[in-house]
Amino acid sequence: MADKIPILKMGNYLLLSIQVDMHDQLALDLQEDLTNQIVKHRAKGVLIDISSLEIVDSFIGRMLSHIANISRILDAKVIVVGMQPAVAITLVELGLSLDGIATALNVEKGMARLEKMVSDDQLLEFERGEERDISAEAGD
């Protein structure tokens, strides 16, 4: 049976915990599955737990970056949690900075940060809406 990474829905968020050794096909499948789940559930955020990953190669690192970028395009905030020191060192040595990907030490801190990111974004959208309303009223 092929490996599959479960994607759990928690309110407006999706949580996935990578508990198996990542290989190229699994990373590609994860990218497709997560994209479909974000659209299906209209998820506002994605938390990716990589605490079980001990090794990351350049392809897997790029796939994590792609997953985060695709999620952002679909209007979902992304946070990666539980990165092992060896994985962080490997990513730096490979020249992969994972720009724009928020990180946290563990799931609890990651979820708190994700909720704040989504809340801040919603507040900003609300304020922009009020500015448009005020501008429209001023034109009347």
Render pLDDT for 2-26 as a digit per residue (tens, 0 to 9).
578 999 999 999 999 998 888 888 8
Those residues whose C-beta lies under 8 Å from the C-beta of residue 35, and which sit 6 or more positions away, are 70, 71, 74
* pLDDT confidence tier of residue 34, bands split at 50, 70 and 90: very high
- Give the predicted TM-score (pTM) of the model: 0.83
Q: Is the pLDDT of residue 1 over 50?
A: no
pLDDT above 70 as % of the chain: 91
User: Using H for helix, E for strand and C for coil, what is the string for the chain?
Assistant: CCCCCCEEEECCEEEEECCCCCCHHHHHHHHHHHHHHHHHHCCCEEEEECCCCCCCCHHHHHHHHHHHHHHHHCCCEEEEECCCHHHHHHHHHCCCCCCCCEEECCHHHHHHHHHHHHHHHHHHHHHHHHHHHHHHHHHC
Task: State the pLDDT at residue 132.
Answer: 63
**pLDDT tens digit string along 73-100?**
999 999 999 999 998 898 888 888 777 7
Structural domains of the chain, with CATH: 7-139 (3.30.750.24)
Cα dihedral 43, 124, 100, 14, rounded to 10, equals: -10
Average per-residue pLDDT for the chain: 87
Averaged pLDDT, 110-114: 95
Task: State the pLDDT at residue 121.
Answer: 82
Task: State the pLDDT at residue 53.
Answer: 87
Those residues whose C-beta lies under 8 Å from the C-beta of residue 72, and which sit 6 or more positions away, are 78, 100
